[in-house]
Amino acid sequence: MANPKIHERSSSSFKPINKMLLKDSSFSIGTTYPASVKEISAMLAHARKNSPEEQEMVQNEVYENNNGQGRRGSNLNTNNSHHQCGSFFAKCNCKYEGQDSVFNFQSPRSNSIPNTKNLHEEKRLSHPEIDLSELTAKPSNVCLKPKSPGTPSPSTVIKANVFLNHPEITFPIPVEVSKEDFRNHSIPTHLYPELKHKLDYHKATALAYEHQKNQTINKSKEAEAEKFFKEFGLFGPMGNGITTNFKRPSRNSLEENINQIKRNSKNLGNKKMSSVFIEDYEHLKVIVARLRKDITDMEMKYTAAQVELHETKNLLSTKESEVLKLQREVHKLKSVLHQTASCQVGEDILASIQEQYTMANRLLPSPTGHHETVSHHKKQGVSAESSEQCVQVGGEIITTKFEKDFRSKQLIKDAIMDNAFLKNLDTSQIREIVDAMEPREYPAGSYILRQGNAGVHVFVSAEGEFEVIQDDKILGHMGPGKAFGELAILYNCTRTASIRAVTNSKVWLLDRKVFQKIMKRTGLLRLQDNINFLKSVPLLQNLSDEVLSKIADVLEVEFYPAGAYIIRQDASGDTFFIISSGSVKVTQRLPGHLEEEEIRTLSRGDYFGEQALLKEDCRTASVIALHPGVECLTLDRDSFNQLLGSLSEIQEKDYGDEERLNNRPVLIEPQEFDYIKLNDLEVIATLGIGGFGRVELVQYVKNPSLTFALKCLKKQHIVDTQQQEHIYSEKNIMLSCRSPFICRLYRTFKDSKYIYMLLEACLGGEVWTILRDRGCFDDHTCRFITACVIEAFDYLHSRGIIYRDLKPENLLLDEKGYVKLVDFGFSKRMGYSSKTWTFCGTPEYVAPETILNKGHDRAVDYWALGILMYELLTGNPPFTATDPMKTYNLILKGIDMIDFAKYNVGRSAQSLIKKLCRDLPSERLGYQRGGIMDIKKHKWFQGFDWDGLNARTLASPIQQPVRSPIDTSNFDCFAKDNDIPPDETSDWDINF
């Protein structure tokens, strides 16, 4: 089948040919080819001799002869000694002779196109000598009815088209063959001379094609072609797309026709079929190469998939074998476990009974006007009794010890080490807890603890069997050696389940106050011992108690077994050692000797390596631990310098501790609005509900433009939870504070049922409410809120005040969108180097040292600042669990266990959070030598306008509309409190 592109190109070039085609379509080949060479040659000869009428007769004769029966074409192949290209020219340059030349015969009605085998090759031009006289001398009908011998009669003649298979002659030439020759696919020999010698027309075509191929042709050849056209009277395009006039044109149109021939030849040159096929060929080559590459890639992927499939099958087979093996083991153990299941209870059961915890005597009503889901409930602060109550007369902390045999001590110790929380205590603390636990026996059916009651003891089951009951449903059973109720030794909380003795049983118990005494005494004893050790070092003995206390916080305990080298001679080192227990020997190898010589022995209280705090130098001797081992307090130079700076700076610096302690000014601020009485206030709406009472928006009836927030606390509840000291501390601290980032307290009131605090009304709403509605804050908003808190902390810490209850619930917005700290119930004024042991705060925000009762100071506020940043950026605190004990255990695992990528927290924010939430207080940013300025200089605050924040000119990213002094639209709606508390007449609030 012919290429459609070639056919399309040819048909577009041969539109004018319809004018010269014969009227009878028997010689027509559609709109693609002109009449045959012989017919046109005959017509040209008659045009030179005959009149127009005679020419018309010749044409009619040709038409009649072409109406024969041989319409169907065929291809005849003959072997002759002409050129392979099919040319009969004498000077063809195809360089080939005598093989398989082909005459292609087709019926004149066939619409097939010529054989395109050679059309894509470079065209070869030939220029034979043409004898024009031969053409003019031959009769006009010689090509129509040849008279040579062997010519068939007209009745047996079939007309067929001959294709010369030459690049320049791509149109058919009609010939007459007999029906027999046509059927035998042979050609009469008398036609060879006719085709070979009548090449006038071919010559003209060759010249025209030569003109189209070479844009700049020889002038003589162009003139030769023009002369040929004039002699034969043929005007118009030649070759493919031929049109002709059989009448001689006028001389005036001769030049125009010649120009038309040139233009048509040029158009044919621009439409070479070879270029199309070259482009197609190159395009196909690219496609084939790409397909081969794709096939290769697919084969590689297929091979890799086969390998992966094989490996997966092997792995699956292995896993199936392991599962089968484990199933068999489980089946074997089921019978054994079934026998002891009734005597034991899993840790999950003990943990689950604390999931619905709350502080004793405290209920938190839910708001009625706003949706508050379980995942977005307000976090509840918790607090134990003040640690100051643990100190006995004379400042000595006394605990009672109970005699126990070795088996009982080991049982209690094993139970403590098996408890997820208690196992984090120090060895000395565990030893004292074991000694302080007292025995108690319970008969069968009695309750060790009851659900809903306030708890103050931690228990260890010693003998008997116990059952765990929650909501009248038995959750499980447990036997001896289990610790339970440990949350009660941290702060006052209600029991969330009941424990009942199934048989006559015995337990060991420890009271919360005793536990607090133990933790405080061991902490103070450890701190004092470390300070005494440090004072014994000449290099450090002139330092103040504040500096020594900080150094004592940095000291780490290291144990070395007997024979271990603590330091080696000539090795570089940066660590300072103080022996807390055990002894070491110091050896030295003199120059020229191989053996080390013992110099001296050091024991408890001695130190070595103190020069490492000044500079890095080579050790001048070796120190080896003696039997049974040695425990040392260590301090490295980097931690020392980071916490306090260089030793020379410390020795020259005057911290002014004594002057500050002896001359601390008593802040007596005049009370504002002292003319306002409690009866002059009218309640407008409830702004919030807390654990100890409510906060009401009140209006001064004599001046409606004055509104305040009135905090109402139930006196009886304060007494029940022993929070009197915290309430006084809150009053004194808030009255003394004058910071734009801290909510003002103007004055206080009291009656028989409540105590009242008249506070500044911050009507922009709670940060917690906005966080709940938005889900989380972006970096810009979080940075602004955190900066406001930092300024508040800077103000408090510079006055020796720790806050201890930072969370979004305690942050309010004023009418400009600036953040203020509220609720100072857990705040405390303390010295710069002192510590406190009271457990207080919000479970998700308490620091590790608070949980472990190691004593804490302002470093807990920096920990809470990191937790606040995380919650503002993600919507939830990093440490959250279903019950507080699980939360505390997560906190003790550290901030490095948190996956920041889960919430897409930025790198600079991650860096600041991790530096604020270090496990060791001395490593936290803000607590080190640079103070709170280290936080402000962090990369996360780069470019922040601290001056604009303090001047309140920096625009807040949170702008809550406040339409009037009594607008409460930014707060949740709360139901009216109909619970009237009883009178409390102990007069603990006489100075309130």
Q: How far apart are CA 600 and CA 586, in angstroms?
A: 5
Residue 329, pLDDT > 60, answer yes
| Contact of 452 with 494, CB cutoff 8 Å | yes
Q: Which residues contact 99 (CB under 8 A, 6 or more apart)?
A: 79, 84
CA–CA–CA angle 976, 981, 984 (5° rounding): 150
What is the pTM for the complete model shown? 0.62
Q: Give the pLDDT mean for 143-150.
A: 43
Most confident of 113-122, 350-359, 749-758: 749-758
What pLDDT is recorded for position 342?
38
Which fold is adopted by the domain 765-950? Answer: Transferase(Phosphotransferase); domain 1 (1.10.510)
Which fold is adopted by the domain 386-519? Answer: Jelly Rolls (2.60.120)
**Pick from 168-177, 246-255, 494-503, 970-979: least confident:** 246-255
CATH architecture designation of domain 555-631: Sandwich (2.60)
**Pick from 319-328, 677-686, 738-747: least confident:** 319-328
**Pick from 494-503, 686-695, 702-711: least confident:** 686-695
Residue 799, pLDDT > 60, answer yes
Residue 87 — pLDDT band, cuts 50, 70, 90?
A: very low
Residue 180, pLDDT > 90, answer no
Catalytic residue ranges: 805
Residue 129, pLDDT > 50, answer no
Q: What is the mean pLDDT of the chain?
A: 75
3-state SS record for 130-155: CCHHHHHHCCCCCCCCCCCCCCCCHH
Residue 14 — pLDDT band, cuts 50, 70, 90?
A: very low
What pLDDT is recorded for position 253?
56
Q: How far apart are CA 704 and CA 680, in angstroms?
A: 11
What pLDDT is recorded for position 428?
87
Q: How far apart are CA 505 and CA 961, in angstroms?
A: 64
How many CB atoms neighbour CB 770 within 10 A? 19
What pLDDT is recorded for position 932?
94
Residue 194 — pLDDT band, cuts 50, 70, 90?
A: low
What pLDDT is recorded for position 370?
43
Q: Give the pLDDT mean for 358-381.
A: 54
What pLDDT is recorded for position 282?
83
Residue 145, pLDDT > 90, answer no
Q: Give the pLDDT mean for 511-515.
A: 91
Residue 879, pLDDT > 70, answer yes
Q: How far apart are CA 710 and CA 695, in angstroms?
A: 5
Residue 649 — pLDDT band, cuts 50, 70, 90?
A: low
What pLDDT is recorded for position 626?
94
Parallel/antiparallel/unpaired status of strands 157-163 and 438-442: unpaired
551 Ramachandran zone, left/alpha/beta (phi>0; psi -120 to 50): alpha
Residue 75, pLDDT > 80, answer no
Residue 114 — pLDDT band, cuts 50, 70, 90?
A: very low
**Would you list which residues are annotated within the binding site for ATP?**
711
